[in-house]
Amino acid sequence: MRLETQVIPPLRSATRGQQIEDILLIHGMGSASTAWQVLIPELRRHFRVITVDLPGHGKTPFIKGTHMDPIALADMVVPRSMRSPPVITSSETHLVDGYPSNLPRITGREFVL
C-alpha cells in the first residue's frame, strides 16, 4: 500500500560536509498529517520534514484487507530498508494499540508529543 506522503524541504541548505537530517511526523488515529501544520515551520529550520497519512486517514484511502496492527503500520511508514529518521508521534498515536511502540526497533529514535 502506498501512503500519501509529503516531503517539505528545509529552509536552509546543507553546508559543505554537512547533511540536513530528515524527521518523520506520524499523526494519531482519527487524525491526518495536517495535524502537524503548526509545527512544520519551526521544524523546517532544522530538518527536511516528512509527513504521512495512515490508511483511512487524510489523503490515504483505506483498502479492504489492509493490516492495521502496529507492526504492519510501522513497516508501511518506515520500511526496514529505509535509513532511519527520527520520528515524532502524537501522544494518542503512541497509546492506541501500542502503535508505534515498535518504531524504535526500526528507527531507534522516537519523540512523543
What stretches of the chain adopt beta strand conformation (E)? 4-8, 21-26, 47-53, 87-89, 110-112
Q: How many residues does the chain have?
A: 113
d(CA 21, CA 14): 9
pTM over 0.85: no
Mind listing the pLDDT tens digit of every residue in the chain (113 residues)? 788 989 999 998 877 778 888 888 888 878 899 999 998 999 898 888 989 999 999 999 999 999 887 778 877 887 655 566 777 776 555 433 444 444 444 445 555 55
Comparing C-alpha atoms, which of 108, 104, 3, 110 is closest to residue 55?
A: 3
Q: For the chain, which domains are there?
A: 4-106 (3.40.50.1820)
Cis peptide before 100 (omega within 30 of 0): yes
| Contact in structure between 1 and 76 (CB atoms under 8 Å) | yes
